[in-house]
A and B are shown apart, each in its own frame.
Chain A
């Protein structure tokens, strides 16, 4: 299987006052095509910094990074911007939609920047909004949308150029329980469609939708597991149906 993310010994130091702090302290991470990975850990453990490194929003101080087989840790700012536009979709906690553009205009923007024709970009954007059940809101500005709708629009925008990988940073951090449920269903759909996806989250419900879960502490990965293994469905069902057999 091809590796979409291949990171070796990634380090990111912050020049805080006094001795530099290692926010990411030697992370090795391989994510295969079609895999969904979530990263959990206490705040300050380095999980968001790791996501920024993987998407080129920050540069590592040491280590190597390959995305889709291409070495990217040495790219210039401009090269990164071009690479990212085509290959990386971002979803952020605060949605980051452009306020002056309607929902569909936000979604088609990354395609237009890649040189896709207006007609094709609009068609693709409308298809995605349809799939994510926000098509009827396509003509509205972001401030007329609920948080859940804004995040679905942001996910559509992340997907429009069919990226190698979608990186999501606390995607449900600003959403209520119901809207979180909608985003969970959406991620489950992406997982079924084999979209490579890395989610940084402190929400156990969101984290547990993934194929694989990483736990970070103090800038390193301290534990990881395949979520589909272990706990058996039969065991869970039996405990749910356990009404106290003693009678």
Chain B
């Protein structure tokens, strides 16, 4: 969130409202789930960190409005962010450990855990696909849904690998 907002401000100063509108549009159907205050909370944190500067702009018939501008330090952070290739959720490590610990402690059947997890991911995939079908194919939001769907499919394939492994272990 922080980096996206700073990047938007790298182009030109903007009001919090404009930033929020931009995010809602770029997220497509997920835009509605964006916490309304999140943009403003983020902006005030960035301001305290010296990454953005706020200027009061007088408005004839409304209270003064804040316009945010990126500082030099903010500009540098944006460059770092654009070059950063860190990928979140590289491996579902917590689930992997859950299987290993379940097998070691006999607290649960790893294969049953895999089955339950897979059904949950397939339910998510079902919902994503319903959303994708309702979204115009050329909308930015459709691209986000496609990315989420492909990652879920990769996770589901990994669960199939887990299933094979744990079925083999159990039958030994």
Contacts and interface: CB of A to CB of B under 8 A. Distances in A.
A207 interface: yes
B1 to A, nearest CB: 4
Contact of B29 (A223, A237, A243): A237
A234 interface: yes
Contacts of A243: 1, 4, 23, 38
Contacts of B57: none
Interface string A218-247: 000011010111111110111011011111
B99 interface: no
Nearest to B32: A237
Contacts of B116: 223
Interface in B39-53: 41-42, 45-46
A246 B156 CA distance: 29
A228 B131 contact: no
A230 B118 CA distance: 12
Contact of B126 (A42, A208, A245): A208
B31 A231 contact: no
B164 interface: yes
A230 B164 contact: no
A233 B32 CA distance: 11
A230 B121 CA distance: 10
B106 to A, nearest CB: 20
A205 interface: yes
B73 interface: no
B129 A225 contact: no
B119 A213 contact: yes
Contacts of A234: 33
A244 B1 contact: yes
A240 B33 contact: yes
B129 A208 contact: yes
